[in-house]
Structure 1
Amino acid sequence: MDIDDPKDVVRRGYDALSRHYEQSYATETKYRPWLGALQQRIPAAATVLDLGCGSGVPVARTLASAGHRVTGVDISGEQIRRARQLVPEAEFRRADATAVEFPAATFDAVVSLYALIHIPLAEQPPLLARIATWLRPGGWFLGTTGHSAWTGTDEDWLGGGVAMWWSHADAATYRDWLIGAGLTVEGEEFVPEGDGGHALFWARRPSAGE
Structure 2
Amino acid sequence: MDIDDPKDVVRRGYDALSRHYEQSYATETKYRPWLDALQKRIPATATVLDLGCGHGVPVARALASAGHRVTGVDISGVQISRARELVPEAEFRQADATAVEFPAASFDAVISLYALIHIPLDEQPPLLARIANWLRPGGWFLGTTGHSAWTGTDDDWLGGGATMWWSHADAATYRDWLTRAGLTVQEEEFVPEGDGGHALFWARRPSEG
Same fold, judged at TM 0.5 (above): yes
- Tell me what 2:6 maps to: 6
User: In the aligned structure 2, how far is the partner of 1:173 from the partner of 1:66?
Assistant: 34
- Tell me what 1:92 maps to: 92
Q: Is the 8 A contact 1:28 1:58 kept in 2?
A: no
- Tell me what 2:200 maps to: 200
2:182 pairs with 1:182? yes
Deviation of 1:146 after TM superposition, in Å, equals 0.1
Structure 2 letter corresponding to 1:40: K
Structure 1 letter corresponding to 2:158: L
- Tell me what 1:123 maps to: 123
How many residues are matched?
209
Q: After the TM superposition, which residues 42-191 of structure 1 pair with which residues of structure 2 at under 5 Å, given as runs?
A: 42-191=42-191
Structure 2 letter corresponding to 1:128: L
Q: What SS does the aligned partner of 1:156 have? A: strand
Give the TM-score of the pair, scaled to structure 2: 0.99
- Tell me what 2:20 maps to: 20
Q: Is the 8 A contact 1:121 1:167 kept in 2?
A: yes
Q: 1:126-147, CA deviations, whole angstroms, 9 ceiling, x for partnerless residues?
A: 0000000000000000000000
Change in Cα spacing, 1:117 to 1:126, as seen in structure 2 (3 Å) is: same
User: In the aligned structure 2, how far is the partner of 1:44 from the partner of 1:140?
Assistant: 14
User: In the aligned structure 2, how far is the partner of 1:51 from the partner of 1:35?
Assistant: 14
Give the TM-score of the pair, scaled to structure 1: 0.98
Runs (4+) of structure 1 exceeding 3 A deviation are none
Change in Cα spacing, 1:174 to 1:27, as seen in structure 2 (3 Å) is: farther
Q: 1:8-54, CA deviations, whole angstroms, 9 ceiling, x for partnerless residues?
A: 00000000110111111246511000000000000011000000000
RMSD over aligned Cα atoms = 0.7
**Structure 2 alignment gaps of length 5 or more:** none
User: In the aligned structure 2, how far is the partner of 1:182 from the partner of 1:66?
Assistant: 29
Q: 1:91-116, CA deviations, whole angstroms, 9 ceiling, x for partnerless residues?
A: 00000000000000000000000000
Q: Is the 8 A contact 1:13 1:162 kept in 2?
A: yes
